[in-house]
Amino acid sequence: MRLQGRKALITGAGSGIGAATTQLFTEHGAEVFAVDIPDGRLAECHGDNPAVHCLGLDLTDEGAAETIIDAVMGTMGGLDIVMNNAGLGAFAMIEDTTDALWDKIMDVNLNVPFKICRLATPHLKQSGHGRIINVASVMAKKADTGLTAYGASKAGITGMTRNLALELGRHAITVNNILPGAIVTGMTAQSFENDNVAEIWAHKSPLRRLGQPLDIAHGALFLASDESSFVTGHDFHIDGGMLLKQ
């Protein structure tokens, strides 16, 4: 029960990494406010879990961050852990990357996480053991064709995290990144259904397998727990060693 009595906010909690982390956090005693788009997945994943409060909301809606933090405080009355996990990916060559696509990726992957961190900070200061966990990607440190917007947004998250860690450390708030590698999630599952694609990406890891959402959830549990109280500003690579090949 490493999170007994802690109150957590997790975005993108309706599938993949977010769903696995929400479940794991509650198994360790946390109360979780789970956010995802209003498509029914939250209820399907967590509807039977009394420790989970669900909010269906599109992060690109105007005032989404304010709505989330207001709902968190109104429902749980406090906040100890923020996990900005929701993410949006899109393949587009630079000449095909429209302003609308760029703005949407930046909103979901960078702008809204920043706003959530800003609004959550006063509450995390009161916690005494505040935790911010931002889910970035190995693409924050490497590159691939057609991922200019996605890579830029994830590199932005890692830069934001380092600065927040420096600024908020005096308040006993740790701020860290998780950089997943090739993980089978709702965003990637369709691609990995192709055996050839799955094999190529599995072999990018020295462990010769794709990652699973629970692999990331266990890393998030460490960063959310007291065991990580002297870890901040860190890029936690949970990538099966993918970046070793750079």
Record the tokens describing residue 23, joined without a space.
Answer: 């479940």
H or E element at residue 53: strand 52-56
Give me the half-sphere count of Cα atoms (radius 13 Å) on the Cβ side of residue 187.
21
Q: What phi and psi values does residue 180 have, to the nearest 5 degrees?
A: -70, 155
- Residue closest to 105 by CA, chosen among 91, 93, 120, 117: 91
**Could you give the angle at the alpha carbon of 158 between the alpha carbons of 157 and 162, nearest 5°?**
115
Pairing type for strands 174-180 and 7-11 reads: unpaired
Residue 15 CA to residue 164 CA, distance in Å, equals 27
Quick check: is 142 catalytic? Answer: no
Catalytic residue, from 45, 52, 139, 150: name it.
Answer: 150
H or E element: which one contains 10?
Answer: strand 7-11
Cα-flanking dihedrals φ and ψ of residue 57, to 5°? -155, 135
Task: Let me know: does 80 contact 124? Beta carbons within 8 Å.
Answer: yes
Considering only CA atoms, which of 89, 162, 88 is closest in space to residue 132?
A: 162
- The amino acid sitting at 243 is L
- Catalytic positions are 150
